[in-house]
Structure 1
Amino acid sequence: MNWGKGILFSIFGFIAIIMTMVVISVRMEGIELVTEGYYEKEIAYQEQIDKEQITLDKNRDVISLNSQNQLLILDLPSGAIGMLHLFRPSDASLDQKVVIDGKNQGAIEIPVGNLKSGYWKAQLNWTENGVEFYQEKKIDL
């Protein structure tokens, strides 16, 4: 074998590897890293930043995970109303929303044992005494 054949085989091998990777990436399904209404949410993002800043100013950690009992614990005061969004970045079909009605006394326990294992984001929007708050916690089940 001479140098010319070796270079030619290397080029054809490289092209075959690249084409295989292109075919695999085109056939992949179920990767949804963008939420519905992405652009509309981006326009209103300053409001979200303000809610997060108010939450940080309160210096309260509202969302916690009890991994032993597989419970998500929300430490909200009585009368707080809101929405908990359990967001799965890799598969939007697994997302869940839980309404927080404000009638509960003490901590609210939400079972997460039935969720598919992996990376999740718990996004909590709530209103307390007319003030809107937002907290997000990354959880790994």
Structure 2
Amino acid sequence: MDWGKGIILTLVAFGILMIGMVTFCIKQDDIHLVTQNYYEEEIKYQDQIEKMINASEIGYNVLVYDSQLKKVDLLLPKGAKGTLHLFRPSDARLDQKIAFDITETNASSINVKDLKPGYWRIKLSWSEDGKEFYEEKKINI
């Protein structure tokens, strides 16, 4: 075999490899954005910062994750209303949003046993007495 055939075979092999990689990338359908309306949420981020400051002024964690019982406790006062967002960064199809309204003074619990094991972010947004709050916790199930 001479140099000409070797170079041509190398270029053909490289071309086939590139076509295969492009085909593989095009066929992937499980690519998810963190959020669909990214720019709108970026503009609203100053409000989010103010909510986080309000939550830090409370002085205790309102989100408590029990890894043994696989549950999340919401230590919120009576009259608090909001949403709990169970956020899976690797797959947006697994995300869940749970609305809540605390009517009793006992701690509310959310069972997370049925969630797919792995890395999750728990995002808690709530309001009480006309004031908005936000807290986030990272957990591994």
Structure 2-normalised TM-score?
0.84
The one-letter amino acid paired with 2:80 is A
Query: 1:41: Cα distance to partner?
Result: 1.6
Q: Say whether the 8 Å CA contact 1:33–1:90 is kept in structure 2.
A: no
Shift of the 54–6 alpha-carbon distance from structure 1 to 2, 3 Å rule, reads: farther
**Unmatched 5+ residue regions in structure 2?**
none
Query: 1:4: Cα distance to partner?
Result: 4.3
Give the share of equivalent positions with the same residue, in percent: 46
Query: 1:62-91, CA deviations, whole angstroms, 9 ceiling, x for partnerless residues?
Result: 222212111112221222211101122333
Query: 1:21-44, CA deviations, whole angstroms, 9 ceiling, x for partnerless residues?
Result: 221111111221232332222221
Query: 1:129: Cα distance to partner?
Result: 2.5
CA distance in 2, matches of 1:97, 1:86: 6
CA distance in 2, matches of 1:4, 1:106: 80
Q: CA RMSD in A?
A: 2.1
Describe the SS at the equivalent of 1:134.
strand
User: Number of aligned pairs?
Assistant: 141
Q: Which residue of 2 aligns with 1:136?
A: 136
Structure 1-normalised TM-score?
0.84
Q: Which residue of 2 aligns with 1:14?
A: 14
Q: Which residue of 1 aligns with 2:67?
A: 67
CA distance in 1, matches of 2:9, 2:65: 55
CA distance in 2, matches of 1:63, 1:9: 61
**What is the correspondence of 1:1-141 to structure 2 with a 5 Å cutoff?**
1-141=1-141
Query: 1:47: Cα distance to partner?
Result: 0.5
CA distance in 1, matches of 2:44, 2:70: 33
